[in-house]
């Protein structure tokens, strides 16, 4: 790989005797990986037991893929699964390279926490955080780019997360709405991207000798706004996908100098993770030491006294009487679970379930206001894909397990017939025990409601 001379000289000074191995790593294949989603059901083709993956799915050529558990991680495996596979489409797995998975593992939020993923797209870290929260607490995933926030919504919905709010905002606007609110903030800051050179060689063309310093200045601006939202006793996970000391250790020193109430926490150096440069508490992913790309992670905690959860006045439902009746008719007929842990609100004709305990979000750009339940149409309610993917078969009155062939037909936009005894009306389609959204059974013909923008041909 053709790397900038200034880049090579810089890391030759930093790494010394290890530089040759570091340099050689850029010509090695990229290590792919994924995470298993604990919010989903594992079937016989894809089962995790005693930290070992057994009976893995077959690859496209019919051979059995062998996956290896990433040491000291809850959900991660080395390996690759197609984005058109059943496992991916139903949210059972999320493809994410190994170094990026380190961030979520360090964060590891406890159930019930209020969590902010400040720079969240495309959704790898947010879905990882959701794995720990298990649909408790509140997860606010923010992405400043409108286009990337839509991808973030898609990945959150596919994952089946019920307590995620996706915002499309600047950090300073968030800080006005969420002062001292979050128990945990994950800031995977925009950076010079040195750690992605092997995976994304086009990133090299943006790099200059001064670029890391320019990025560090922007990062400190974001850090300043992020810390306004951290509750007393809260945790800040700061990370980048670069090796530049200017963006990493230098920024941590800046935080410690300007925010004396924050203290570094030691991160275990397992599975090839290395200590920081003259900063042993943080970790670095060097590609000649770690099976993955580049990453830097630091864990800071506010040493102020942890207060009781900040009380926030809950919002109110804004449904009309007719809308309330339509939703109740649908839920009583088709659901076996009460989706009552939150506030029902409509935005236009779209119905959402918002997590309880949120501040007023009316001043913010919202991409996904909680769990999207569906849409009100003339005299009827139509359930959403997100609801059908978030619910488990035991939570609906009627589900239909479909074959792999039927799955391929359905995701391409086709209808199909079934000879199984299924009630007329809405039915949750499942494959491998996981939801693929709702469809409508009309005299044995399953009408297709898979969104046109997500359809594909295997």
The pLDDT of residue 339 is above 90: no
The mean per-residue pLDDT over the stretch 433-457 comes to: 95
pLDDT value of residue 358: 94
Q: Which residue has the higher pLDDT, 62 or 216?
A: 216
Cα gap 12→283, rounded to integer Å: 20
What was the pLDDT predicted at 221?
98
Is residue 241 part of the annotated active site? The answer reads: yes
Q: Of 191, 215, 241, 285, which residue is the catalytic one?
A: 241
**Backbone dihedral angles phi then psi of residue 95, each to the nearest 5 degrees:** -75, 125
Q: Is 237 helix (H, G, I), strand (E, B) or coil?
A: strand
pLDDT-derived band at 48, boundaries 50, 70, 90: very low
DSSP per-residue codes, 45-72:
TSEEETTEEESPPB-TTSPBP--EEPTT
The whole-angstrom separation of Cα 414 and Cα 387 is 21
Question: Residue 452 burial (CB < 10 Å; 0-12/13-18/19+)?
Answer: exposed
Distance CA 86, CA 408 (A): 9
Return the higher-pLDDT residue of 47 and 227.
227
**Burial call 112-130: b when 16+ CB within 10 Å, e when fewer:** ebbbbbbbbbbbbbbbbbb
* 122 is an annotated ligand-binding site residue: yes
pLDDT of residue 52 exceeding 60:
no
Q: Is 294 annotated as a binding residue?
A: no
Cα separation, 177 vs 241, whole angstroms: 28
| Contact present, 244 and 13 (Cβ < 8 Å) | no
pLDDT value at 186 more than 60:
yes
Band of pLDDT at residue 107, cut at 50, 70 and 90:
very high
- Cβ(141)–Cβ(123) below 8 Å: yes
* 125 annotated as a binding-site residue: yes
Asked if 264 contacts 300 with a C-beta cutoff of 8 angstroms, the reply is yes
Q: Are 113 and 181 in contact (CB under 8 A)?
A: no
Tokens of 41: 């059901």
Instruction: State whether CATH 2.30.130.60 applies to domain 392-458.
Output: yes
pLDDT for 65 beyond 80: no
pLDDT at 343: 92
Whether the pLDDT of residue 62 is over 70: the answer is no
Q: Give, in degrees to the nearest 5, the angle at Cα 165 between 345 and 298.
A: 160
- Map tokens 């020193």 to a residue: 253
Residue in 139, 229, 227 with CA at minimum distance from that of residue 179: 229
For the whole prediction, is pTM greater than 0.85? yes
> How high is the pLDDT of residue 233?
95
289-313 pLDDT, tens digit each: 999 999 999 999 999 876 665 667 6
285 annotated to bind ligand: no
Inform me whether the pLDDT recorded for 340 exceeds 90: no
Report the interhelical angle of 98-107 vs 124-133 (nearest 10°). Answer: 40
What does the mean pLDDT of the chain come to? 92
Contacts of 304 (CB under 8 A, 6+ apart): 232, 233, 261
């Amino acid at each position: 790989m053709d790397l900038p001379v200034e880049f090579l000289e810089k890391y030759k000074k930093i790494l010394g005797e290890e530089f040759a191995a570091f340099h050689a790593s850029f010509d090695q294949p990229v290590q792919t990986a994924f995470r298993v989603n604990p919010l989903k059901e594992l079937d016989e083709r894809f089962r995790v037991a005693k930290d070992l993956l057994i009976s893995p799915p077959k690859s496209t050529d019919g051979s059995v893929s062998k996956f290896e558990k990433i040491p000291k991680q809850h959900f991660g495996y080395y390996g690759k699964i197609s984005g058109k596979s059943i496992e991916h489409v139903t949210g059972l797995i999320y493809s994410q390279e190994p170094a990026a998975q380190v961030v979520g593992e360090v964060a590891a939020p406890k159930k019930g926490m209020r969590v902010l993923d400040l720079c969240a797209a495309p959704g790898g870290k947010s879905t990882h955080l959701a794995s720990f929260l298990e649909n408790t607490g509140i997860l606010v995933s923010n992405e400043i780019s409108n286009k990337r926030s839509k991808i973030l919504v898609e990945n959150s919905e596919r994952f089946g997360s019920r307590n995620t709010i996706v915002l499309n905002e600047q950090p300073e606007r968030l800080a006005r709405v969420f002062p001292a609110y979050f128990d945990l903030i994950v800031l995977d800051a925009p950076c010079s991207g040195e750690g992605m050179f092997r995976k994304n060689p086009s990133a090299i063309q943006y790099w200059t000798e001064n670029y890391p310093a320019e990025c560090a200045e922007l990062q400190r601006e974001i850090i300043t706004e992020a810390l306004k939202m951290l509750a007393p006793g809260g945790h800040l996970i700061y990370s980048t996908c670069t090796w530049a000391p200017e963006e990493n250790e230098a920024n941590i020193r800046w935080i410690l100098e300007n925010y004396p109430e924050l203290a570094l926490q030691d991160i275990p150096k397992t599975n090839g993770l290395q200590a920081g440069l003259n900063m042993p508490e943080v970790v670095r992913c060097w590609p000649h030491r770690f099976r993955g790309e580049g990453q830097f992670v630091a864990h800071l905690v506010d040493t102020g006294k942890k207060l009781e959860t900040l009380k926030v006045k809950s919002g109110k439902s804004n449904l009309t009487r007719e809308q309330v009746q339509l939703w109740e008719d649908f839920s009583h007929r088709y659901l076996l679970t009460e989706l009552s842990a939150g506030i029902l609100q409509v935005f236009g004709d779209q119905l959402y379930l918002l997590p309880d305990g949120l501040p007023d979000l009316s001043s913010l750009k919202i991409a996904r206001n909680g769990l999207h339940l569906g849409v009100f149409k003339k005299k009827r309610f139509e359930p959403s894909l997100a609801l059908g993917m978030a619910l488990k078969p035991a939570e609906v009155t009627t589900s239909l397990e479909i074959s792999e062939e039927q799955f391929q037909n359905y995701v391409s936009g086709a209808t199909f017939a079934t000879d199984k005894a299924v009630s007329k009306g809405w039915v949750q389609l499942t494959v491998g025990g996981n939801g693929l959204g709702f469809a409508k059974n009309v005299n044995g013909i399953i009408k297709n409601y898979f969104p046109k923008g997500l359809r594909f041909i295997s």
